[in-house]
């Protein structure tokens, strides 16, 4: 196997991969007078086109991806991304329009945005949406800002945000940037919010509860209406992290659970590709009460024409330029429209079926910290394997040898040695069985030959990497 | 359409394995009173062919793409070598997630490492991150970073910072007790140094400036940074048109402490505003407060070179509310496109690209200023954008141009009330001389018609 060099190491003076058409206006030197101009950029690449193509082709082959196989990365919803949506998002009318184009010349784009807002409102049971946030974390930030703006107008922004200990790390981080102190709510033995604990913590200093439902254990917070009632009774808001709505689409709606504000990740439930870590899109939905605070611009329809309106005096402002990750939104809309209401319901049904099937098939081999029924994902742990000195990381790395992407391990923090498995609805039974067989084999190896796990992976482009040294002796860029 | 891969037999077998007999039982933990009793009220499903036709019709309503346009203002029409589309659409790049498992994500990580290097090279800084959402949120993250570094609570921003970036900064800092003070611009269209000097004091955390600025003017970054440093404030430089860095001195060499900006010009289509690419670079002593993902080089157990995400103790999944940023998913695929773009056009190409932009824009500026009724608004040096002031009603001129198939510059009245009848024009390498001449002819006609 070729060890792929850094492009900078194969660069050499005079090589070109691209040539611009010749300048067709008379060049002038006087326009540069008084400017600080740069010297040659030292080390900047100079390579040929074929070298570029081989470099990136070979690099791509060292990546694992959903198109290649099972990717049960819990909470990330690594479902298959339909290919036609890529082609749709590359239509010239979408790709080549300028964000400052006159509104009457981009009616198609504005229709895409408005339609997406309306369909998401129907899917979630919320009243209005903003598609501006670029990803889930920015959606959370917007959601919390809306709550704060509303409370401020009522006279007191309050100080605290309650977050269950099973939440994703972006929740507390977003609340913090919004100027709130985070107070953790302990999960009960069932893995859900302890209503009496919430009741105690819920005071008039609390601005909001950030809840994930189903939570990161895959368990539905069945007391959600009671929870919302407690929060509302003290004048707080219920924020729902709907990054992953895969278990609920077409089955039930956050709006009907008395949630006040929610963000969605279009790159999860709505199939837009994850791109190696973005671009995503994190729309925010609200009930009427919070609508005046949504980011500007707002898409409005006036006399059969769409316009971008800035006439929202109470708006929190903007969190990014222009209208969000537009081309991502196009793909998500294509997904919703292609599936229709029946298809979306089927997404939730099969996502839960696949997850339950995997859970049932592995419960003899792996420990389940919380045994409550789960929906789209389940969280096992390495407790049984720990006895033989094998950790979740070893299990994950060994899965790579079996041609499967490992589950999520970094959270939920309430499960030590977590293996968070989310199959999604697009997997075939054959692929699920391959994964189940691999996990069983690994459980067996943990008892009989733990060394093979600890030294895994064995057949990848690189073997286990030294992350400690990477953080201690920082090499963050190429140098000559 | 359906993307389900189970047969009816599979479903039966799986339900049996779970020990239930219907799909309803899968959702037994959801209380009946919140379950939907009917299907969602959505349009009914479409086949692939119908879906494509549906969107083709919508996209065709965007007649903007048929016009000759001179709008820039933070989103630029540049050439994109074909290999960028070709390589970046490979499934291996499009369909993985964040490289949490480095052993099977070396492609993504290797690319991030090269991206970080390229951003360091063009900005003249020590370290860069794996990307942020866009230029605007990049600017906001830089402000938060400065506040974490020196704990000071006042930020000076130049009035010629992109108006949307200003608004995003204000939104981000609103709840954190950080005060934003704006500095005016002078007749050259650059920062008003008198005003800057007056407002500069020891309480200032950072000075945020943009070059070329929103009015197209190249700022004296050295002078701005020096003034910031005299009051122990940081100099944050925003670059919304990074093609300029093919020609202009790197901000890092002019005293910038943090350089952030919009990478859309590097191989991303206009796409009605997104997805774009925030980039950020800084001096290495600030690394602990640097936001976003960072890839680092290391070795595997056999001594082979590999890359991993590193310094994750700064990040939300470890540090939670004490993280340097809440960012998680960023713009990885956009960073990949920028990497392919920069490596393809290469050292000579980037220089030539910048050269053609500055030449064509200046050609256009001179040509348009010869027209009666058009005046150059600011005297500062420009890169690929400039402001023209029109005698008379700009909206009438705009509609005249429209009939000629041309979208002129961006009307600035909406952003700067004092710049009534002024428009910001952008000319890049994609404009041919005859396009510029056509604009000039049409404007001549428009203004003549008006005067008669």
Q: How do residues A103-116 score in pLDDT, each as one tens digit?
A: 999 999 999 999 99
Q: Which of A76, A112, A326 sits opposite B97 (nearest CB)?
A: A76
Q: Do B330 and A278 touch (CB under 8 A)?
A: yes
Q: Is A365 a member of any domain?
A: yes
Q: Is A77 a member of any domain?
A: no
Residues A333 and A418 in one domain: no
Closest among A86, A330, A81, A337 to B46, alpha carbons compared: A337
**DSSP-assigned letter for residue B172:** H
Q: Is A295 a member of any domain?
A: yes
Span B230-250, average pLDDT:
98
What are the residues whose beta carbons fall under 8 Å from the beta carbon of A442, sequence distance 6 or more? Answer: A395, A398, A399, A402, A453
DSSP string, A427-446: --HHHHHHHHHHHHHHHHHH
Residues A400 and A454 in one domain: yes
Residue B339 has pLDDT above 60, yes or no: yes
Q: Does A10 touch chain B (CB under 8 A)?
A: no
Give 3-state DSSP helix, strand, coil % of chain B, rounded to 5: 45, 15, 35
Q: What count of other Cβ atoms lies within 10 Å of the Cβ of residue A260?
A: 27
CB A185 within 8 A of CB A193: yes
Question: For position A399, which CATH number holds?
Answer: 3.90.1150.10
What's chain B's average pLDDT? 96
B11-22 burial by CB neighbour count: b if 16+ within 10 A, else e? beebbeebebee
Alpha helix locations (H) across A38-125? 49-60, 84-89, 92-95, 107-124
pLDDT in tens, A361-390: 999 999 999 999 999 999 999 999 999 999
pLDDT in tens, A269-282: 999 999 999 999 99
Parallel, antiparallel, or unpaired: how do β-strands A237-242 and A261-264 relate?
parallel
Q: Is A472 a member of any domain?
A: no
At residue B450, the pLDDT reads: 54
Residue A104: give the domain boundaries: 84-338
Q: Name which of A175-179, A249-253, B124-128 the model is least confident about.
A: A175-179
CB B169 within 8 A of CB B208: yes
Residues A449 and A303 in one domain: no
Q: 3-state DSSP call for residue A468?
A: helix
Structure tokens given for A316: 């929190």
Structure tokens given for B30: 């959801």
Could you tell me the sign of the dihedral formed by the alpha carbons of A362, A364, A370, A371, in that order? positive
- Partners of B46 on chain A (C-beta within 8 Å) are 337-338, 340
Residues A355 and A322 in one domain: no
Q: How far is A384 from chain B (nearest CA, A)?
A: 22
Q: List the single residue in B with minimal CA-CA distance to A97.
A: B272
- Partners of B380 on chain A (C-beta within 8 Å) are none
Q: Do A99 and B319 touch (CB under 8 A)?
A: no
What are the residues whose beta carbons fall under 8 Å from the beta carbon of A478, sequence distance 6 or more? Answer: A6, A8, A9, A43, B113, B114, B117
At residue B449, the pLDDT reads: 64
From the candidates B8, B95, B361, which should be mutated to test the interface with A, based on the most A CB atoms within 10 A?
Answer: B95
Please state, in angstroms and rounded to a whole number, the distance separating the CA atoms of residues A24 and A26: 7
At residue A118, the pLDDT reads: 98
Q: Which of A25, A40, A168 sits opposite B433 (nearest CB)?
A: A25
Q: Does A352 touch chain B (CB under 8 A)?
A: yes
DSSP string, A12-51: -TT--S--PPPP-S---SGGGTT--B----TT-----HHH
Q: How far is B392 from chain A (nearest CA, A)?
A: 20
Residue A309 has pLDDT above 90, yes or no: yes
Please state, in angstroms and rounded to a whole number, the distance separating the CA atoms of residues A447 and A442: 9
Residues A92 and A135 in one domain: yes
Which of A314, A338, A362 delimits the end of a domain? A338
Q: Does A403 touch chain B (CB under 8 A)?
A: no
Structure tokens given for B107: 């492609």
Q: Is A327 a member of any domain?
A: yes
**DSSP-assigned letter for residue A322:** T
Q: Does A59 touch chain B (CB under 8 A)?
A: yes
Residue linked to tokens 């959606």? A139
pLDDT in tens, B245-266: 999 999 999 999 999 999 999 9
Please state, in angstroms and rounded to a whole number, the distance separating the CA atoms of residues B318 and B320: 6
Angle among Cα B350, A97, B67 to the nearest 5 degrees reads 95
pLDDT in tens, B260-293: 999 999 999 999 999 999 999 999 999 999 999 9
Residues A278 and A389 in one domain: no
Please state, in angstroms and rounded to a whole number, the distance separating the CA atoms of residues B337 and B184: 36
Q: Do B271 and A466 touch (CB under 8 A)?
A: no
Q: Do A278 and B356 touch (CB under 8 A)?
A: no
Please state, in angstroms and rounded to a whole number, the distance separating the CA atoms of residues B176 and B269: 35
Q: What count of other Cβ atoms lies within 10 Å of the Cβ of residue A441?
A: 15
Structure tokens given for A181: 């102190």
From the candidates A72, A80, A476, A479, which should be mutated to test the interface with B, based on the most B CB atoms within 10 A?
Answer: A476
Q: Is A121 a member of any domain?
A: yes
Please state, in angstroms and rounded to a whole number, the distance separating the CA atoms of residues B47 and B1: 5
- Partners of A339 on chain B (C-beta within 8 Å) are 1-2, 45
CB A153 within 8 A of CB A147: no
User: Considering only residues 94 to 123 of chain A, which have any Cβ-Cβ distance to chain B shorter than 8 Å?
Assistant: 94-102, 105-109, 111-112, 119, 122-123
Q: How far is B442 from chain A (nearest CA, A)?
A: 19
CATH topology of domain B65-78+346-451: 3.90.1150
- Partners of A463 on chain B (C-beta within 8 Å) are 103, 300-302, 304
Q: Do A373 and B48 touch (CB under 8 A)?
A: no
Span B141-154, average pLDDT:
96
Q: List the single residue in A with minimal CA-CA distance to B23.
A: A349
Q: Which of A428, A461, A476 sits opposite B296 (nearest CB)?
A: A476
Q: How far is B231 from chain A (nearest CA, A)?
A: 24
Q: Is A10 a member of any domain?
A: no
Bridge partners for B73 per DSSP? none
At residue B323, the pLDDT reads: 83
**Which DSSP helix (H) or strand (E) runs through B209?**
strand B204-210
pLDDT in tens, A122-133: 999 999 999 999
Please state, in angstroms and rounded to a whole number, the distance separating the CA atoms of residues B183 and B186: 10
DSSP string, B311-372: -GGGSHHHHGGGSS----S--HHHHHHHHHHHHHHHHHHHHHHHHHHHHHHHHHHHHHHTST
Please state, in angstroms and rounded to a whole number, the distance separating the CA atoms of residues A277 and A135: 10
Q: Does A340 touch chain B (CB under 8 A)?
A: yes
Which of A313, A338, A363 delimits the end of a domain? A338
Q: Do A474 and B13 touch (CB under 8 A)?
A: no
- Partners of B84 on chain A (C-beta within 8 Å) are none
Phi, psi values for residue A166, rounded to 5°: -90, 0
Number of domains in chain A: 2
**DSSP-assigned letter for residue A76:** S
Residue B452 has pLDDT above 80, yes or no: no
At residue B38, the pLDDT reads: 97
From the candidates B11, B25, B59, B67, which should be mutated to test the interface with A, based on the most A CB atoms within 10 A?
Answer: B59
Structure tokens given for B183: 């500095």
Q: How far apart are the first and last CA of chain B?
A: 61
Could you tell me the sign of the dihedral formed by the alpha carbons of A102, A105, A106, A111, in that order? positive
Residues A272 and A387 in one domain: no
- Partners of A216 on chain B (C-beta within 8 Å) are none
**DSSP-assigned letter for residue B382:** B
Please state, in angstroms and rounded to a whole number, the distance separating the CA atoms of residues A397 and A450: 12
Question: For position A111, which CATH number holds?
Answer: 3.40.640.10
What are the residues whose beta carbons fall under 8 Å from the beta carbon of B159, sequence distance 6 or more? Answer: B182, B183, B184, B185
Span A2-24, average pLDDT:
95
CB B152 within 8 A of CB A302: no
From the candidates A1, A25, A135, which should be mutated to test the interface with B, based on the most B CB atoms within 10 A?
Answer: A25
Structure tokens given for A105: 């010349």
Q: How far apart are the first and last CA of chain A?
A: 25
- Partners of A25 on chain B (C-beta within 8 Å) are 359-360, 363, 433, 436
Residue linked to tokens 């496109």? B337
Angle among Cα A350, A355, A359 to the nearest 5 degrees reads 145
Please state, in angstroms and rounded to a whole number, the distance separating the CA atoms of residues B340 and B332: 12
Which of A317, A338, A359 delimits the end of a domain? A338
User: Considering only residues 188 to 217 of chain A, which have any Cβ-Cβ distance to chain B shorter than 8 Å?
Assistant: none
Q: 3-state DSSP call for residue B54?
A: helix
Residues A391 and A424 in one domain: yes
Structure tokens given for A336: 């919703």
From the candidates B2, B83, B90, B103, which should be mutated to test the interface with A, based on the most A CB atoms within 10 A?
Answer: B103
Closest among A380, A343, A297, A271 to A131, alpha carbons compared: A297
Bridge partners for A214 per DSSP? none
User: Considering only residues 296 to 335 of chain A, which have any Cβ-Cβ distance to chain B shorter than 8 Å?
Assistant: 316-328, 330, 334
Span B407-416, average pLDDT:
95
Q: Do A477 and B116 touch (CB under 8 A)?
A: yes
What's chain A's average pLDDT? 96
Q: 3-state DSSP call for residue A392?
A: helix
What are the Cα distances from residue B201, in Å, to B158, B230, B259?
Answer: 15, 9, 22
Q: Do B172 and A43 touch (CB under 8 A)?
A: no
Residues A315 and A383 in one domain: no
Cβ–Cβ pairs < 8 A, chains A and B: 663
Alpha helix locations (H) across B1-154? 8-18, 48-60, 82-88, 91-94, 106-123, 135-150
At residue A23, the pLDDT reads: 98
Architecture of domain B82-341: 3-Layer(aba) Sandwich (3.40)
pLDDT in tens, B31-85: 999 999 999 999 999 999 999 999 999 999 999 999 999 999 999 999 999 999 9
Residues A98 and A173 in one domain: yes
CB B403 within 8 A of CB B386: no
Please state, in angstroms and rounded to a whole number, the distance separating the CA atoms of residues A81 and A271: 5
Residues A177 and A132 in one domain: yes
CB A429 within 8 A of CB B10: yes
pLDDT in tens, B351-382: 999 999 999 999 999 999 999 999 999 999 99
Span A189-216, average pLDDT:
96
Q: Is A31 a member of any domain?
A: no
Q: Which of A119, A140, A408 sits opposite B326 (nearest CB)?
A: A140
Q: How far is A188 from chain B (nearest CA, A)?
A: 16
Every domain of chain B and the residues it spans: 65-78+346-451, 82-341
Q: Does A365 touch chain B (CB under 8 A)?
A: no
Q: Do B272 and A326 touch (CB under 8 A)?
A: yes
Q: List the single residue in A with minimal CA-CA distance to B97.
A: A276
Q: Does A441 touch chain B (CB under 8 A)?
A: no
User: Considering only residues 36 to 55 of chain A, which have any Cβ-Cβ distance to chain B shorter than 8 Å?
Assistant: 36-38, 40-47, 49, 52-53, 55
**DSSP E strand stretches across A280-358:** 284-286, 298-302, 305-309
Alpha helix locations (H) across B61-105? 82-88, 91-94
At residue B336, the pLDDT reads: 98
At residue A87, the pLDDT reads: 98
CB B96 within 8 A of CB B435: no
């Amino acid at each position: 196997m070729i060890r792929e060099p850094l492009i900078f190491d194969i660069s050499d003076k005079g090589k070109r991969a691209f040539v611009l058409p010749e300048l067709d206006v008379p060049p002038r030197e006087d326009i540069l007078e008084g400017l600080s101009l740069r010297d040659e950029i030292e080390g900047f690449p100079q390579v040929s086109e074929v070298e570029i193509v081989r470099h990136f082709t070979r690099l791509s082959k060292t990546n694992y991806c959903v198109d290649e196989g099972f990717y049960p990365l819990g909470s990330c919803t690594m479902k298959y991304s339909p290919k036609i949506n890529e082609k749709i998002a590359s239509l010239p009318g979408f790709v080549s329009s300028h964000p400052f184009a006159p509104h009457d010349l981009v009616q198609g784009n504005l229709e895409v945005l408005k339609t997406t807002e309306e369909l998401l409102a129907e899917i979630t049971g919320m009243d209005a949406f903003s598609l501006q946030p670029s990803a889930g974390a920015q959606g959370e930030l917007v959601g919390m800002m809306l709550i704060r703006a509303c409370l401020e107008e009522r006279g007191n922004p309050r100080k605290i945000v309650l977050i269950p200990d099973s939440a994703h790390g972006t929740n507390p981080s977003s609340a913090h940037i919004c100027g709130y102190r985070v107070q953790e709510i302990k999960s009960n033995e069932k893995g859900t919010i302890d209503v009496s604990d919430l009741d105690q913590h819920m005071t008039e200093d609390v601005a909001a509860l950030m809840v994930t439902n189903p939570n990161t254990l895959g368990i539905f917070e069945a007391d959600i209406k009671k929870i919302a009632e407690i929060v509302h009774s003290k004048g707080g808001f219920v924020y729902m992290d709907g990054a992953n709505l895969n278990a609920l689409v077409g089955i039930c709606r956050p709006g009907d659970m008395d949630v006040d504000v929610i963000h969605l990740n279009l790159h999860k439930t709505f199939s837009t590709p994850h791109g190696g870590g973005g671009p995503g899109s994190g729309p925010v939905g609200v009930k009427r009460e919070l609508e005046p605070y949504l980011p500007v611009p707002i898409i409005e329809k006036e006399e059969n024409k769409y316009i971008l309106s800035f006439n929202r005096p109470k708006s929190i402002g903007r969190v990014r330029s222009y209208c969000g990750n537009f081309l991502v939104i196009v793909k998500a809309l294509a997904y919703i429209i292609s599936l229709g209401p029946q298809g979306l319901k089927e997404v939730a049904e099969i996502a839960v079926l696949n997850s339950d099937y995997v859970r049932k098939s592995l419960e003899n081999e792996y420990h389940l910290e919380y045994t409550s029924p789960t929906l789209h994902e389940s969280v096992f742990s390495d407790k049984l394997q720990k006895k033989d000195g094998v950790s979740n990381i070893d299990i994950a790395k060994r899965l790579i040898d079996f041609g499967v992407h490992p589950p999520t391990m970094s959270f939920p923090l309430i499960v030590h040695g977590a293996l968070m498995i989310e199959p999604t609805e697009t997997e075939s039974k054959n692929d699920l069985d391959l994964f189940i067989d691999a996990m069983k084999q690994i459980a067996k190896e943990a008892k009989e030959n733990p060394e093979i796990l600890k030294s895994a992976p064995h057949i990848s482009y690189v073997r286990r990497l030294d992350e400690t040294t990477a953080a201690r002796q920082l090499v963050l860029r190429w140098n000559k | 359409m359906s993307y389900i891969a189970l047969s009816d037999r599979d479903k039966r077998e799986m339900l049996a394995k779970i020990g239930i007999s219907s799909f309803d039982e899968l959702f037994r933990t959801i209380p009946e009173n919140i379950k939907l009793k009917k299907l969602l009220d959505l349009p009914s499903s479409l086949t692939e062919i119908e879906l494509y036709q549906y969107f083709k019709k919508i996209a065709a309503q965007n007649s903007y793409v048929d016009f000759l346009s001179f709008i820039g203002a933070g989103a630029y029409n540049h050439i994109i070598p074909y290999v960028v589309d070709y390589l970046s659409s490979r499934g291996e790049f499009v369909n993985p997630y964040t490289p949490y498992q480095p052993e099977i994500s070396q492609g993504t990580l290797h690319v991030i490492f090269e991206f970080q290097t390229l951003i360091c090279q063009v900005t003249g800084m020590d370290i860069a991150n794996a990307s942020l959402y866009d230029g605007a949120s990049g600017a906001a993250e830089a402000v938060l970073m400065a506040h974490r570094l020196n704990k000071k609570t006042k930020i000076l921003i130049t009035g010629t910072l992109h108006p949307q970036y200003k608004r995003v900064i204000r939104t981000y800092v609103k709840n954190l007790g950080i005060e934003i003070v704006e500095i005016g611009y002078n007749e050259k269209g650059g920062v008003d140094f008198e005003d800057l000097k007056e407002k500069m004091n020891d309480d200032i955390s950072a000075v945020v400036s943009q070059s070329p600025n929103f009015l197209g003017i190249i700022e004296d970054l050295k002078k701005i940074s020096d003034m910031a440093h005299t009051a122990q404030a940081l100099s944050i430089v925003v670059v919304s048109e990074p093609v300029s860095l093919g020609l202009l001195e790197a901000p890092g060499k002019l005293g910038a402490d943090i350089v952030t900006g919009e990478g859309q010009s590097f191989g991303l289509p206009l796409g009605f505003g997104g997805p774009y690419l925030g980039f950020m670079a800084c001096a290495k002593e600030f690394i602990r407060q640097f936001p976003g993902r960072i890839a680092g080089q290391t070795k595997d157990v056999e001594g082979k070179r590999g890359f991993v995400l590193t310094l994750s103790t700064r990040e939300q999944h470890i540090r939670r509310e004490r993280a340097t940023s809440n960012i998680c998913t960023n713009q990885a695929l956009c960073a990949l496109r920028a990497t392919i773009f920069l490596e393809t056009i290469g050292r000579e190409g980037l220089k030539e690209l910048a050269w053609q932009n500055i030449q064509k824009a200046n050609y256009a500026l001179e040509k348009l200023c010869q027209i009666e009724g058009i005046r150059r608004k600011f005297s500062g040096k420009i890169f690929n954008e400039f402001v023209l002031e029109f005698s008379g009603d700009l909206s009438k001129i705009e509609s005249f141009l429209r009939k000629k198939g041309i979208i002129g510059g961006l009307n600035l009245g909406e952003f700067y009330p004092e710049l009534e009848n002024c428009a910001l024009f952008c000319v890049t390498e994609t404009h041919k001389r005859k396009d510029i001449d056509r604009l000039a002819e049409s404007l001549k006609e428009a203004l003549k018609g008006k005067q008669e």
